[in-house]
Structure 1
Amino acid sequence: MKRGISFEIPNEYGGFLGEILKPFDMTSFNWYIGGEESYFVEDCTLEEPLFPGEVYGMDGVILKGILENNEYYLIFANLKAYPKKKNVQDIKTYEEFLKSDCQLVLLVVDSAYVTVYCKDKVLLENLYHNAIINGYDNVQFITDENDGRTRLSVW
């Protein structure tokens, strides 16, 4: 069974999270933001953190604005989407993900390595094709057989 996708993005400034999530309606969800290390970029200089620490329940409209209307540099990122009016929490394992209301997990490690888990299988296919269209490297499905990740965390 397909669990998610993995791929590599360029290790450079950009708006990659907005590109990656384009097929996903960010505005319909509240988000857990892990507060990992990523920065806004202005005049080719790293500025303020993209997210000011751990956030439980960022409105998707706000998140979409941040991710699609800014340039930033990702080092580590941990985002999890929950339907509006559901409890937003930081789930730690794939098994917790399956039992939770969380619908999507997006993790970025070392500026380039992206993992996305998604419960909606049609949307997962759309995210996969979107990654290919954007020219990301090593795009592949994560399955029950090849998933070596033990924690849904970037640390």
Structure 2
Amino acid sequence: MIRIRGITFEIPNGYGKYLYEILSDLELNGFNWRIGGGESYKKENNTLGVPLFPSLCTVNGETLSEIISKEEYYLIFVDLKAFENKLDVKEIATYQEFVDSECQFILLVVDSSYVTIYSKNQNIIQQLFSKGVIAGYKNIEYITDENDRNTTLIAF
């Protein structure tokens, strides 16, 4: 039986609230989110402004939701990892580390457009796949044991 690990797809390369659109149906508040190294900026006067995220920190779901829902931003590299318990928050660099950890969900954005999501919850993967199809994201596909090409689960 083929196991589904996650999904991958492309979002438009431009300003928007793509993280909010992707994550809005998930229960963000139940998690502590590790914000890894990355590069994303708030839109200010139609150009890149201040960084969207504080660097290398952990925020609760309410704070993450507030950050990604308020105003438009430009994503270059994003590394978000969700943990149920703040004490378990740590860097996850490989799929096996993800499996062996308390991390429940990973969202990576690379080169402004390429989104990769891993989740231990198969219902979330199915929900996000359907949502991506409806939203018209390009090249959406499941990540399985057979086709997973990622050697690292760090965006930047």
What TM bracket, shorter-length normalisation?
over 0.9
Q: Which amino acid aligns with 2:46?
A: C
TM-score (normalised: structure 1): 0.96
Whether contact under 8 Å (2:11, 2:115) holds in the other structure is yes
Whether contact under 8 Å (2:15, 2:73) holds in the other structure is yes
| 1:62-94 deviation per Cα after TM superposition (whole angstroms, max 9, x unaligned) | 000111122100000000000134411111000
Equivalent residue, structure 2, for 1:95: 96
Equivalent residue, structure 2, for 1:18: 20
Q: Distance in 2 between matches of 1:62 and 1:14?
A: 18
TM-score (normalised: structure 2): 0.95
Q: What 5-or-longer segments of structure 1 have no aligned partner?
A: none
Q: Which amino acid aligns with 2:27?
A: D
Whether contact under 8 Å (1:83, 1:101) holds in the other structure is yes
Q: Distance in 1 between matches of 2:86 and 2:10?
A: 33
Q: Distance in 1 between matches of 2:43 and 2:86?
A: 33
Whether contact under 8 Å (1:23, 1:123) holds in the other structure is no
- How far does residue 123 in structure 1 lie from its aligned partner after superposition? 1.1
| 1:73-132 deviation per Cα after TM superposition (whole angstroms, max 9, x unaligned) | 000000000013441111100000001110100000000000000000011100111111
Whether contact under 8 Å (2:40, 2:76) holds in the other structure is yes
Whether contact under 8 Å (2:53, 2:67) holds in the other structure is no
- CA distance change for structure 1 residues 121 and 86 in 2, over 3 Å: closer, same or farther? farther
Equivalent pairs, count? 154
Q: Distance in 2 between matches of 1:83 and 1:130?
A: 24
- 1:113 lines up with 2:110 in the alignment: no
- How far does residue 140 in structure 1 lie from its aligned partner after superposition? 0.4
Matches within 5 A, 1:46-85: 46-55=48-57, 57-85=58-86
Q: Distance in 1 between matches of 2:135 and 2:45?
A: 24
The runs of 4+ residues in structure 1 deviating greater than 6 Å are none
Q: Which amino acid aligns with 1:141?
A: Y
Q: For the aligned residues, what is the CA RMSD?
A: 1.0
Q: Which amino acid aligns with 1:132?
A: V
- CA distance change for structure 1 residues 35 and 51 in 2, over 3 Å: closer, same or farther? farther
Whether contact under 8 Å (2:42, 2:52) holds in the other structure is yes
Q: Which amino acid aligns with 2:136?
A: G
